[in-house]
Amino acid sequence: MAKLLDRISLVIIGSGASLFYYYLEKSMASNQSLGSFVTIALILIISLFTQLLINNINRSRQALSESNETLELKVIERTKELRESEIKYRTIFENSGAATLIIEKDMTISLANSVFVSFSGFSRGEIEFKKSFVDFLDEKSHRTILDGDGFLCIDKNLECKLIDKKLDQKDILITIAPIPGTDRSVASLTDISELKEAERQISHQAFHDTLTNLPNRSLFMEHLNMAIKRGKRRQDYHFAVLYLDIDRFKLVNDSLGHIVGDNLLTAFADRIQGSLRDIDTLARLGGDEFAILLEDIEEGNYGSMVAERLQEDLKRPFVVNGEEVYAPASFGVVDNTQDYGLPEDIIRDADSAMYHAKEKGRAQFKVFDKKLHEKALHLLQRETDLRKAIHKKEFVTHYQPIVSLKSRSIVGFEALIRWNHPQLGLIHPDSFISIAEETGLIIPITRLMVEEACHDLISWHERVKHIQKLTMNVNISSRHFLQPSLLKDIKEVLNKIDLPPDHLKLEITETALMEDVEDTVLLVQRMRDYGLQIVIDDFGTGYSSLSYLQRLPIDTLKVDRSFVSRIRNTPDGNRNIVEAIVSLAHRLDMIVVAEGVETLEQYTILLDMNCQFGQGYLFSKPLTKSKVDELIEETLSYSQKNPGQYYPLTSVLSN
C-alpha cells in the first residue's frame, strides 16, 4: 500500500511539474503576470515537501512495522523460554527429593511440591494459600525458625518437629532462603527421623551397658556430678553412693561358662534395680562391678541401711539356665558426701571401702572413712616407690641356709627378698609383696631376685662343690606361676650365668598349685622335664586335693612353721599332725623340709620322724651375701681341718 501511494505521489508531482512548465512558457509568450506562476510554484513546492514528508512517514511506518514484527518474534521466543523455564523449575521444584515450599511474607504457603504434600498427609488444595508454615510445626519449633522480630531465620539449617495430618511428629531439617526481588522465601524440608533415631540409639549405647541396659560409667559419673552440684546449691539435699561387685564371679564364668555369667549379671542387675527407688540410679561400671547413686536422702546412714537390705536380697539364689547360682556381693558405702567436689573422688573412696569389705571376708559392706583413704594413699605411694625400686634395683637378697638334719650341714639356701628403701631403710617382704602381686610388679621383682640368687649360688657352689652340692630355693607367687613367660624367663637366666637347672628349686604354695590344676600339671611337668625342682611351700595351711597332689611331679614338701612351732612331746602338742605330713610326703616319694626350726626339742622330734631337712633360727637367720661368703669360707676351713666331715651349724651356734 505504501509503495502504491509513493507511485501516485510521484505521478502527481510529475504532472504538477509539467503543468508548471507549460504555464510558464505560455505566460512568458503572452506577457502575462507572474502571479499565477508564483502560485503554481508554491503549490508545487508544497506538494514536493508534502511528498517528502509522506515518504518519511511511510519509511518510519515500515521501520515500525519491521520493529513490531521483530518484537513480536522476541516476545514469542521469550514467552517460550519463560514457559520452558517455568516447566524446568517446576519440575525441579516437584522432583527435588526434598519437601519444598514457597512461603509468603505472612507465612502463608503459596506453593507446595508433591513431596511435602505426601510428607504432611494433606492434599495440595488443603495447603496452598490455606495454611501457614507454622501450622505444621510444634511450639518449640516456632521459636527455632523465627528470629527475635518474628521473621524467618534465613540461610540456616534448623532442626524442628513437623506435625502431620495424623498429629504424628517427624524430625526434619529446614533450610530457608529468600527469593530475590520478592517478599517470598523458599523452604526445603528433609526428613531426618531415621537419622535422629539412629543418633538416639548411638547415644543410648554410648551411655548404657549393652548387656544389662543400665547406665554405664560415663552416664553414672554425669549423674553423680549433677548430684554434687545440687548438694552445693541446696543444704537440705543429701546423697550417698554404693560400690559393689559380685564375690567370686570369675568362678561362675570358669565353671558354668560366660553365657551363664552374662545371664547372672542381668538377673543380678534386675534384682538390685527392683529394690531401689525410681529416683535412684543403678549403673554397671564394667565386669561384675556396679554402682548406686541414692539421691535426695535424709542425712545419716541411709546408704548403709540400703547396703544391708540389698545383701539380704542377694542371699536368695538366682536360677540361671536351670541352675541355682548364689551371687553375694561386697559393698563399699560413702554416706557423707558433702565435702566432695569431684565424682571421681567419691567412686575412688567407695571402691576402696568395697575392697576392704572383701578383705574382711566378702558378702559384707564397709563404710568409707578417712583411715581407709590414708591407707589407700599409702598403698599408692608404696606402689609408686616399688616401680622406682625396680628401675633403680633397690632390692637385695638375703639367704637362709637349708640344712640336713642328720649332719646339720648346709645343702642349699632359700632366697628371701628385701627392699632397701632410700628413706625407710630395709623393708621385709610382708610389707610390699601383696602390693607387688596386685599390680603385677611381682614379675619383674622375681626376675631380678632369681638372677641375683642364681648368680650368687654359682659362685658359692664353685668353691664347695667338692664337699657339697648346693641348691637355691626361690619363691614364685601365684600371680607369676601361671604366666606363660615364667619358664622362658628362668631358662634365660640360667643360660646367661651357666647354672644347671637342677640347682634351682621353685617354691610354690599349695593354693597356687590348686588354682588351675590341669594347667598346673602340664606346667610342672615341663619344668621337671627341663630339670627344675618343684617345692610345695607352707604345706597344710591351704587347700589341696590328695588326688591332684599325687598327679603333680613334686620333689619337695615344706612343713609350715606354724606346725613346727607347736611340735612337742606333750599331749597338747601337734606332733601327730607333723608326723602325718612327713609320712604322706615319704609315701609320695617327696623330700621333706621343716620350716621355722628354733629349738633343740623341735630338731630332735623332726629328726626322729625322719624329716630330712630343716631351716630356722636354730641353724641360722637369713644372711646377707657377705655373711654367706664368710660362712662358705668357714665351711672350707672346717673341711680342711676335718676331712670327710660336714660343717655342722648347730655346733657353731652353741659355741
Residues 562-605: tens digit of each pLDDT: 889 888 876 666 788 889 889 988 988 999 999 999 999 999 99
User: What's the residue count for the chain?
Assistant: 655
Q: For the chain, first and last CA: distance in Å?
A: 162
Cβ neighbours, 10 Å, residue 562: 13
Q: In angstroms, what CA-CA distances link 474 with 110, 454, 586?
A: 91, 9, 23
Q: How many CA atoms lie within 13 A of 578 on its CB side?
A: 30
The reported pTM is 0.57
Residue 461 cell numbers, joined:
657352689
- Residues with Cβ within 8 Å of 233's Cβ and at least 6 positions away in sequence, in order, are none
Q: Which residue has the cell 561358662?
A: 257
Distance CA 144, CA 393 (A): 67
Beta-strand ranges (E) seen in 303-404 are: 318-320, 323-325, 329-334, 365-367, 395-404
Residue 502, classed as helix, strand or coil, is helix
Q: CA angle, 115 as apex, 114 and 121 as ends, to 5°?
A: 85
Find how far residue 269's CA is from the centre of its chain: 21
Strand pairing category for 329-334 and 323-325: unpaired
**Longest Cα–Cα distance in the chain:** 198
Judge contact between 532 and 454, C-beta under 8 A: no
Query: Across 35-39, 349-353, 401-405, which has the greatest mean pLDDT?
Result: 401-405
Beta bridge partners of 402: 412
Residue 79 cell numbers, joined:
514467552
132 DSSP 8-state letter: B
Judge contact between 461 and 503, C-beta under 8 A: yes
Nearest Cα to Cα of residue 547 among 581, 521, 525: 521
Q: Which residue has the cell 597356687?
A: 512
521 DSSP 8-state letter: H
Q: What is the DSSP string of 548-613?
A: HHHHS---EEEE-HHHHTT--SSTTS-HHHHHHHHHHHHHTT-EEEE----SHHHHHHHHHTT--E
How confident is residue 473, by pLDDT bands cut at 50, 70 and 90? Answer: very high
> What value does the mean pLDDT take over residues 105-112?
86
How confident is residue 37, by pLDDT bands cut at 50, 70 and 90? Answer: low
Cβ neighbours, 10 Å, residue 334: 24
Which alpha helices (DSSP H) does 186-248 contain, by range? 193-207, 217-233
Would you state the pLDDT for residue 13? 61
- Exposed e or buried b per residue across 338-368, where buried means at least 16 C-beta atoms within 10 angstroms of its C-beta: eebeebeebbbbbbbbbbbbbeeeebbbbbb
Question: Rg of the Cα trace of the chain?
Answer: 53
Least confident of 6-10, 347-351, 545-549, 557-561: 6-10
Give residue-wise pLDDT tens across range 5-32: 556 655 666 666 566 556 656 655 555 5
